[in-house]
């Protein structure tokens, strides 16, 4: 019985354990590599001056972390490492997705070649239309990490499972949440499987 208990515990992911048992490394993993946080490569789009077409290029690629800051495990992890939330929001009514940004691009601030372009983001649930962000806020977190925080209205479609019933599998959530943002000349796109975004038995967005 003792050996079995050790085997089960050994295979647990940090978010499958009580927050009080998280190590510092596990806490930071929740903020960077978990069901609520993914490191993605930003794609660079350039508009041709000749014909107005848009082409994909990677002259100065960078990695960004997309994080669901309104999710409870992320909130708990932020507190544990001593960081404040990016924005103050009513998480019962709002979903907040944060994107970390590089501090500079060849010594210049991260911005679009078109100064009138503002950051915009969309959340798309499988089988539904994209939902635009209500607002975007640019700020630095406590560790001087540049962030863009996008706020979305929390709709039932974001939290309710889309189940497929199969023999021997009574419930299987096949829904995916896709985050897409345009930030200056960059586009960021990442999918988050809804079935993985469970914490302490509850869906967390």
| Average pLDDT of adjacent 10-residue blocks, the chain of 205 residues | 43 90 96 95 64 52 88 96 87 88 54 63 89 88 82 82 53 77 86 91 89
Could you tell me which residues come within 8 angstroms of residue 34 by beta carbon, excluding any fewer than 6 positions away? 13, 14, 15, 73
115-130 tens-digit pLDDT: 556 889 999 988 888 9
Report pLDDT for 178: 93
State pLDDT tens for residues 32-76.
999 999 999 887 765 545 555 555 544 566 788 999 999 999 999
Domain assignments of the chain as residue spans, ordered by start: 17-47+62-203
All residues at 6 or more sequence positions from 33 whose CB lies less than 8 Å from its CB, including other chains: 39
72-81 vs 24-32: helix axis angle to the nearest 10? Answer: 130
C-alpha count within 13 angstroms, C-beta hemisphere, residue 109: 6
86, 137 Cβ separation under 8 angstroms: yes
Q: What is the pTM of this model?
A: 0.80
């Amino acid at each position: 019985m003792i050996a079995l208990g050790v085997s089960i515990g050994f295979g647990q992911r940090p978010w499958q354990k009580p927050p009080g048992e998280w190590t510092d490394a596990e806490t930071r993993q929740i903020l960077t590599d978990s069901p609520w946080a993914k490191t993605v490569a930003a794609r660079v789009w350039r508009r041709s001056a000749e014909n107005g077409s848009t082409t994909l290029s990677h002259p100065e690629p960078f990695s960004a972390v997309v994080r669901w800051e309104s999710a409870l495990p992320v909130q708990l992890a932020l507190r544990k490492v001593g960081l404040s939330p990016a924005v103050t929001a009513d998480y019962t009514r709002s979903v907040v997705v944060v994107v970390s940004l590089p501090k500079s691009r060849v010594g210049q601030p991260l911005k679009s070649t078109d100064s009138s372009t503002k950051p915009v983001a969309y959340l798309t649930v499988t089988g539904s239309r994209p939902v635009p962000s209500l607002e975007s806020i640019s700020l630095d977190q406590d560790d001087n990490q540049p962030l863009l925080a996008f706020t979305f209205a929390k709709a039932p479609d974001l939290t309710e499972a889309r189940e497929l019933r199969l023999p021997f599998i009574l419930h299987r959530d096949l829904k995916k949440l896709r985050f897409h943002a345009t930030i200056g000349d960059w586009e960021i796109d990442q999918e988050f499987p809804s079935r993985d975004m469970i914490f302490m038995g509850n869906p967390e967005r």
